[in-house]
Amino acid sequence: MKIGINLVGVYKGARGRNFNNAKESITNNIINCWDEKPKIYITTYHSDEDDNLIQSYQPEKYQFLDFENSNQRGTYLKSLEQLKNEDLDFIISTRFDINFFNKITNLNIDFNKFNFLFKDQWGNCDVLFCFSMKHLTPFIKNLDFIFKTHTSKRRRNPSFNQHMHNMYDFLHKDIGEENINFIVDGDHNSDSNDFFELKRN
């Protein structure tokens, strides 16, 4: 199976993020736990550690976006578009600041479906999406719709709504409930749970 790891978002700077704080966890629990070495893809913003980031993850492709004119949904959309013509079977998409407690290969992933980690207090957890390549196009389509209709284009707007906790609400109507898998049963808290922690200073 050809697996792509999509790392997306702020890797250093905003809200005390620094990719070094979660690099070991992502390397061990997301990247190096597969029988076949996955390809890494990066979409992020510039900082003084760009060279270190690229050297650490050795991505197949990467792109640096303008932070001031960005938001989470728009950046995520660009990261997915970077994958469109890649020779992949399955994609695991996450962020640089997540410390996972267990190897992803130990989780109940359905490789034919679109996998959310769990349901949370806002809808669905949005720090991890795992999905068959056949679901990339509907993921892009629905995220693009949310981005255009539900997102403030101004990052500094205090009323902006840019999270992805409502992705399930749109996606399951498009691809069908039978093509959705919640890896972990039940409702959990994305701020504090038994599966990961946010690594911020």
**Residue 90: how many other CB atoms lie within 10 Å:** 20
Nearest Cα to Cα of residue 47 among 64, 62, 63: 64
Q: Residue 201: which pLDDT band, with cuts at 50, 70 and 90?
A: low
The residues, ordered by sequence, that sit 6+ positions from 27 with a Cβ below 8 Å of its Cβ are: none
Strands 3-8 and 90-94, by their bridges, are parallel
Structural domain of 84: 3-198
Q: Which residue has the tokens 């349901």?
A: 119
Residue 29 vs residues 6, 72, 92, 133, 165: alpha-carbon distances, Å = 14, 24, 12, 21, 23
Q: List, for residues 167-189, the tens digit of each pLDDT value.
A: 999 999 999 999 999 999 999 99
Q: Residue 159: which pLDDT band, with cuts at 50, 70 and 90?
A: very low
Work out the mean pLDDT of the chain and round it to a whole number. 91
Q: Please state which of the ranges 48-57, 120-129, 148-157 shows the lowest mean pLDDT.
A: 148-157
Q: Is the pLDDT of residue 158 over 80?
A: no
pLDDT at 155: 47
In this structure, the chain runs to a length of 201
pLDDT at 147: 87
Yes or no: say if 160 and 154 are a contact pair by the CB < 8 Å rule: yes
Q: What's the mean pLDDT in 55-64?
A: 97
Q: How many domains does the chain have?
A: 1
Q: Is the pLDDT of residue 74 over 60?
A: yes
CATH number at residue 105: 3.90.550.10
